[in-house]
Amino acid sequence: MSMQGVQNEEKIHLNKEEQKRIRQRSLKLLGEIVKPVRARLFVSLALVITSQALRVAGPWIIALILDQALPDAMSGNFNTLYMLVGVYFGASILSGITIAFFLRFAAKVSQDVMFGLRKRLFRHTQKLSVEFHETYTSGRVIARQTSDLDSIKELLDSGGNEMVSGILYMLFTAIALVTLDPSSFMIMLVSFIPLFFLTRWFQRNTRINYRKTRVASAKLIVHFVETMTGIRAVKAFRKEKRNQDTYGELVEDYRSVNAKVIQLFGIYDPGLIMIGNITVAFVLLWGGFRVLEGDLGIGVLISCILYARSFYDPMENLAMFYNAYQSANSALEKISGVLEEEPSVPEPQKPVSLAHRRGKINFQNVQFAYSNGKVVLPNFDLEIKAGQTVALVGTTGAGKSTLAKLISRFYDPSQGRVELDGVNLREISDDELRETVVMVTQEAYLFSGTVGENIALGKPTASQEEIESAAKAVGAHEFILSLPDGYATDVNKRGGRVSAGQRQLISFARAFIADPTVLILDEATSSLDIPSERMVQKGLQTLLAGRTAIIIAHRLSTVSIADRVIVMEHGKIIEDDTPAKLIAGTGKFAKMHKAWRDSLV
């Protein structure tokens, strides 16, 4: 089963090959995000090595004080005692200073890493083609940008510091113990056997359960986003109870998975404490016998006990780190999958510029199928002359919107080529294509901001005068002035302060100010009532003048302004002529037109 990109990202149980594939992908991403801060990481490492070495030196100095300095002091020589106490005091202060610098430095590095990763994920998600966003829900995208990134941030902010400090402290403690008393170190070494099996068991079980938590978390967010996005439909169909029940089940799944993780941690942490206590007891017992026999100094025994006890202290923090690590690792798997996705419509390596933008469109032997394999356009040919207004009509699923997506290059044909003014769309840069071809959809989406800012999206450098001229051209100026703050009115999300017809007029003004060579209207008036449609019609005529236009519409009132009507069925053209000739005939369009006229009576 393929694990490329986001494919099968909700799969919990992976075979060895799949685990290896995901691990390599995650490590590659980790290396990429750490690379810009590598130099600062080495500085952080130097600081923490110094601080932990000084910290570990404490018990060793205590052993020297007890076994050498105190006997000398009892003989009247206090110099050694003063010197060792001063060294102990200096090491403690220097250790605290270096660890403080390390924590501040590491926090700055962590923030920079997260800043870069957030920007990269956002930039890459925007870069991905429409095909990706039509299959990968917005809820999952939000989960990647929020809960997954937060898991990684938690690891970097605290877990990473604890891990590095803990591992170095344990390493230096082991070195000090084996140097000070090898036999005590051997006792501690034996304790590694149960420690290894306990840690291995914990690792294996938490990996699976943390993968489950990321999947459960994403499902929660997806359901929440879908509910809030479609809140009108939820209320209209009284779906609140069903949504609440579904959400309750998802919350229970998330709680259950997290409870299992907590249970695992509840076994692992006490297990570490028990192994540590038993180890200290054996070191104390064995060292006590040797002190009685005169083979070991009391200072060395106390130091060995301190080392054995403190050796296991970081293990508890490491368990907490592993807790955060497994969560962050699962999140990194998901994020690396998104970042591994490549746009299905790539930017041309050597773009060809449009010498003369006229708006002539050619479909040459085009075949197209979506990712599910269903062929929508089989061997399709079409020529649209520059400046022509063409209406595409037909039943749902006939391929009309697919044509619009191909002209906009939201998708590339599976076979054949689509040309604009004689140039293959695959060879035109995205920037130039977006300037040349603009699509106005059924949902006239208005972004947060003012009316003027929404119109200026079509031309970011537009002056206020140009914005108002565009609005006047499509008949939107009067109603905009009637808004509370005119062009400075905040439309809120989805244009909450304006009607559907007004939103559409704003979108027309946005398209007008962009001044494209080719304009596509994909069901742009289908959601409007009759009065709103009449309000939009005048603006529509101004918008279409002097440019190539493709109108996709079920309402035949919109089709009347077209120079040419193309009737499609099952991805093929079954009729193609002027509106008047098709109406006068006996074909499908004539029947559709008659049915529409009858519906108006």
pLDDT tens profile 381-398: 999 999 899 999 988 888
| Long-range pairs of 227-236 with CB within 8 A, sequence gap ≥ 24 | 229/138
pLDDT tens profile 4-32: 677 766 666 677 777 777 878 888 888 88
Q: What percent of the chain has pLDDT over 90?
A: 11
pLDDT tens profile 167-218: 888 888 888 888 888 888 888 888 888 888 888 888 778 777 877 887 788 7
On the question of pLDDT at 427 being above 90, the answer is yes
- pLDDT classification of 494: cutoffs 50, 70, 90: very low
- Could you tell me if 380 and 570 are in contact, meaning their C-beta atoms sit under 8 angstroms apart? no
Q: What percent of the chain has pLDDT over 70?
A: 92
Which letter does DSSP use for residue 550 in this model?
E
- What is the pLDDT of the chain when averaged over all its residues? 83
pLDDT tens profile 76-126: 788 888 888 888 888 889 888 888 888 888 888 888 888 888 888 898 888
Output Rg (C-alpha) for the chain, integer angstroms: 35
Mean pLDDT of 139-151: 83
Rounded CA gap, 205 and 266, in Å? 13
**How does 289-301 read in b/e, with b if 16+ C-beta sit within 10 Å?**
ebeeeeebbebbb
On the question of pLDDT at 305 being above 80, the answer is yes
pLDDT tens profile 334-374: 888 888 888 888 888 888 888 888 999 999 999 998 877 78
**Tokens 């099996």, residue located:** 197
Per-residue confidence (pLDDT) for residue 564, from 0 to 100? 92
On the question of pLDDT at 493 being above 60, the answer is no
DSSP-based three-state secondary structure for 568: strand
Per-residue confidence (pLDDT) for residue 539, from 0 to 100? 66
CA of residue 331 relative to chain centroid, distance: 10
On the question of pLDDT at 484 being above 90, the answer is no
- pLDDT classification of 566: cutoffs 50, 70, 90: very high
- pLDDT classification of 586: cutoffs 50, 70, 90: confident
Q: Which domains does the chain have, with CATH numbers?
A: 16-340 (1.20.1560.10), 361-600 (3.40.50.300)
